[in-house]
Chains A and B, each alone.
Chain A
Amino acid sequence: MARKLPAKDVVIIGLGWTGSILGYELAKAGLDVVAIERGPWRDTATDFPPAYAQDELRYAVRLDLFLRPGQETLTFRNNGSQTALPIRSFSGFLPGNGVGGAGIHWNGQTWRFLPTDFQLRSHLEQRYGKENLPADMTIQDWPVSYDELEPYYDRFEKLCGTSGKAGNLGGQRQPGGNPFEGWRSSEYPTPPLKQGLGATLFAEAARKTGHSPFPQPASNLSEAYVNPLGVKLGQCTYCGFCERFGCGNYAKSSPQTCVLPALLRFPNFSARTESEVVKINLDSTGKRATGVTYVDTSGEEWEQPADIVLMCAFSFFNVHLMLLSGIGKPYDAQSGQGVVGRNYAYQTTSGVSLILKDKILNPFIATGAHGMIIDDYNGDNFDHTGLGFFGGGYMGAGQTGARPIQTRPVPKGTPKWGAEWKQATAETYQRAFSLATHGSSYSYKDCYLDLDPTYKDRLGRPLLRMTFDFHDNELKMSAFLTDRLAEIAKAMDPAEMTASPRKGPYDSTIYQTTHNTGGTVMGADPATSVVNRYCQSWDVHNVFVPGGASVFPQNHGYNPTDTVGALAYWTADAIRDRYLRNPGPLV
């Protein structure tokens, strides 16, 4: 029997980016807020100091900062005819854990979606004809527009201090920035990072082949910065330990470096770590949440009553908790009815690896998000007539380091070990460079999340089950994108080049991205969405999913974090300015 705690105004499940932003905004509005986080507390000085943050084995290979599958994992299958099996060790994607969540170990690549991405279905139907979209593709329009979200993107980027160069200020094209991006109300808070030789050579080749390269927007900061919350960030040192690592220099934007120092000053905010929410509790009508039940490290159950419940976990675990709590109708792939778990999507990435002639690239000098990029083949930035697919992605030189356990390129045909391997490894490291495409992943009727019938977690709850595979549309897109990238790569005059378009089936053992989206998607119609345009549950009005990637109706050709942060601010404003005045459905 759970012991009941004194009631709070707001309970936050998960203290990562969205949890800390909502915590700050609502504590500032005077509400009594508690965050419950399943993982440990984490601070820069104690958890990833520059004395040992740069430990590839510990952080990148043994995955020290990530969720342990023994605590929670999911099962996976490519299609409904297979039996899903548990992901026993994470490798294909890496969910975060602890305070800061995925905001600790991300690369800092900070992208807005395109204006047309937000009207994806209606835009494509209008331009190409409804009959040309695959019948089982379940993409839909977002219930918010780019114009509505722009001020919130701006707020999140100012929170982060993102480094970059605008390509479109209030509708005016800006030289040096991304000519395809939606309008921005202001320039990036900090100027672009410096570029290494590999990215510089790519940019030259891209220009030569008629493209428009620009520096990747980076939340690894080009200079010291004080954000609007009064929190100070340091300058990035190009150390090359970003992805999978915490930043010891206070130079990568994260809840730790951007929000928590300000949030923790509020006496009306508190956090409980190593405490896992097992259920959102509903009243007898099932239309109002009364709070949450969580388990602490000793196995003790606690009930935390609250007027508002904010689901701020990583995308999978918002879906999981909603299914376990009986909020919303679970999706049934056979009938296509139901919504919770529907429209799971991912990212379709690919690469072109190069070995250059007579170059010293120093590939270990890197940040998670520097690099030169082109956006010519993203979204609907190019005419898809006759191509046989929709969607696209950005591409370019975004190599995030060359830590040698995981990055040791060798020429084609080199044995995997022995004298020849050793020689090739020594001779290639300085001359090798990789380019990548970062493509969209549209949603389909047969790609979804539900509860596994066999496997249970440590608390006896069914694991979440993922059913996912790449579809022809995405594979054709990846082939097209990779061909374009290879054309540019050829202009770099490499000694050797290997283009690797994404091929099916989806392999959960090969790291691609941790951009897992959908399952509690936002929309204008309760028959095809779990939350409304304010990220509020259609069924239980005091439950919100404030911006986690689980609300994306499909995934676009960009990294999700900027949109996640923008939606967090958008939802915080809706709760503070509208919901508190008149608690009830906002739509």
Chain B
Amino acid sequence: MEAKKHSERKSSFKNTSDIELKRVYTQSDVGGDDCDIGLPGAYPFTRGVQPTMYRGRFWTMRQYAGMASAEESNARYRYLLEQGQTGLSVAFDLPTQIGYDSDHFLAQGEVGKVGVAIDSLLDMEVLFSGIPLDKVSTSMTINAPAAVLLAMYIAVAMKQGVPPTKLNGTIQNDILKEYAARGTYIFPPRQSMRLITDIFAYCAEHVPEWNTISISGYHIREAGASAVQEVAFTLSDGMAYVQAALEAGLAVDDFAPRLSFFFNSHVDFFEEVAKFRAARRLWAKIMRERFGTQNPRSQMLRFHTQTGGSTLTAQQPDNNIIRVTLQALAAVLGGTQSLHTNSRDEALALPTEESVRIALRTQQIIAYESGVADVVDPLAGSYYVESLTNEIEKAALEQIARIDALGGAVKAIEQGYMQREIQDSAYTWQQQVESKERIVVGVNQFQVRESAPRGLERVDEAVGERQRAKLALLKGNRDNARVQAALSELERCASTAENVMPAVLEAVLAYATLGEVCDVFRRVFGEYRPEETLA
């Protein structure tokens, strides 16, 4: 009788990381002595990287946006800034991300589709027209050709009269997760790592406030990884970048303060909050214990968060507003430095202006109305949250040790280890959804008959045509001798150990196209060809 009265609805409760959850947590779960959570702003930063956190200022509200041409994207950025957004985040189309101009045959059908098409400095000038680059911070989701887009951004700033020392922002520049999960690689790993460390060195000297990399778990999670895998693979990638920079002769405290991170926020609320706290503590320990950093800024894991695109459903899309709210709240309670909230219609198309506004308003309501930003790390001391933080840290450390044993992140990716682990998790998740072990509201339960959604955003197919025409015009009008000289100089630098950044900057200032610059790198570095394996 007693047992029946207290029966539970499942025989076992587990989160995405396969951590078994107890019915109730007590003091005994957080330990007496090792319950060292410290204070915000102090090592190991479990509770946040600053002492005041959102009492100082809110996180940066930064919506990832970009579509079609530079003109249209510029209009969307101005709209978002008018609506109270505090930072920009540029989405580039796939040809740009893979270093092809809009007139390349592989760009057919892709120009302007998932982001803005940028072929040369000309497009970049339009993209930021009327936006003073000393007043906003800009994040650019660009990886393999990050050096080129960063150079274009610096060039636009120069033309606005803004010196590089005044620039704030981030380039994603994280190639390892491209091989593991996202797919927009161009060059082989070793050569890609060299481009990345060239950027670290250049920025340390010339663009000191710039975040030179955003080491990303986001896409690893979207591809199917669990929360623990997201932390472990991301921090392993981070260690590989630190190692590469040390091998390139840089001093750790010269570049490590500019490393930044990018995490996902999925819908298991406490797992996500604990994940952010665990990641922060782990990175601090790694940087101090493994790499011997002295500067506390080198030990601070600062991160951007985006809510989980893969958790959005095409069914009953307005429900996504609620998912995003929970995920955004977890990110804020986890101490994020900036946040993108997804729009309700993203499982169907690029978001409409109205959907983006609701997504931004979600952040503003959390910030201005909910009160959660008024106290730093308010969930600290919760038996469950502290215990889960410890468990995620422990499980992630075990994963990191496995990657270490394979020779580090680069080797693990080359051997397909991370890819297989991610694939396994993705497949397990799908099976759980199909067997209804996991309920996704509106997808495998609580379905309704729905009519086709209306009013979705569409990219004008003519944008490719217009980009091609602009390119032809540009190539007729620019100083082609200067372009050729710049590209030759770039080829020389790329072939030696010389930092490529000054030559890339000169090439973009001469209006060499993105494709022309990347073709030089393709000639010198070769291209990455993965071996495909199904787990």
Q: Do chains A and B interact in one complex?
A: no
